Structure 1
């Protein structure tokens, strides 16, 4: 439990930075991700859940067909990566907790909730850029140094997916 609290604190520090742009401090925090399965699994689940829930909002609120298409892809891909991490956790002998938003992801979603129109699109894209950089650091680190082989493989499989999202985000702008 102490390790989960420390890991959550690192995630809070990384996400609490401004959603626009990235700073060396944010990247440094994000790169200090857990290498223990008991910490990685809830963090990966929260990251995926945030991507799914924020993207559901984008499907409802965005006026941009490109952003809506991206949002649907987020829902599809992050649903898949959640299933893969869950299966890998089970293969590692774990009983993964049900996916839940950790406080920093809940905060991001709460900030996004009231936004409308172009402001929504801008905030959604900014949050997605930051969240994906952090997710990339999480999965890269665990894939290299994680303590459970099935989870390392799942994390390694998520890396190109998250990188694809980062690359696609570079092409999107608020309408």
Structure 2
């Protein structure tokens, strides 16, 4: 069963799936990514006793709320009307998996999922920053990518 979770997380991290070609696709993917980060982090905050996990999850809620606001503002500047974010099916499945786990197993699953989700988010933001089709969104993607890189570095120590 552990192999399934890791395999599912790695599939979600596929860079090929992480680089939308258009601004609306980028906004949708970035919103889904942030929503997953917030929901999974809020879920783990309800139960974790691990101080590192708690600190990281708290930072995820704050940082991914901020990045959503940045993307929405840039999308509006680019002439788009962003819809409220929605989870992708694989993200909803990962949330369900977290709900089904408890204690240290939940914490471990959360960290594993976060590593995969952040790799995908990094590819998304770096890809759009370099090849995006709307200047305000390209600029925001370029500002968000280093924050995601920082999150990845923190995850490596967990």
Fold in common (TM above 0.5): yes
Structure 1 residues 96 and 165 mapped into 2: Cα distance closer, same or farther (>3 Å)? same
Q: Does 1:29 align with 2:19?
A: no
Aligned-pair distance for 1:62? 1.1
Aligned counterpart for 1:99 among listed residues 85, 90, 115 = 85
Aligned to 2:34: 48
TM-score (norm 1): 0.83
In the aligned structure 1, how far is the partner of 2:48 from the partner of 2:8?
A: 22
Aligned-pair distance for 1:17? 3.9
Aligned-residue Cα RMSD (Å) equals 1.9
Which deviations, in whole Å up to 9, do the C-alpha atoms of 1:74-108 show, x marking residues without a partner? 00000000000000000000000111112121111
Contact 1:46-1:99 at 8 Å conserved across structures: yes
Task: Write out aligned runs for 1:59-74 (5 A).
Answer: 59-74=45-60
In the aligned structure 2, how far is the partner of 1:26 from the partner of 1:56?
A: 21
User: Mind listing any 5+ residue stretches in structure 2 that lack a counterpart?
Assistant: none
In the aligned structure 2, how far is the partner of 1:40 from the partner of 1:82?
A: 12
User: Mind listing any 5+ residue stretches in structure 1 that lack a counterpart?
Assistant: 1-14
Aligned counterpart for 2:8 among listed residues 18, 24, 29 = 18
In the aligned structure 2, how far is the partner of 1:137 from the partner of 1:80?
A: 19
Contact 1:27-1:134 at 8 Å conserved across structures: yes
Which deviations, in whole Å up to 9, do the C-alpha atoms of 1:26-78 show, x marking residues without a partner? 544345x1120011101100000000000001111111011000000000000
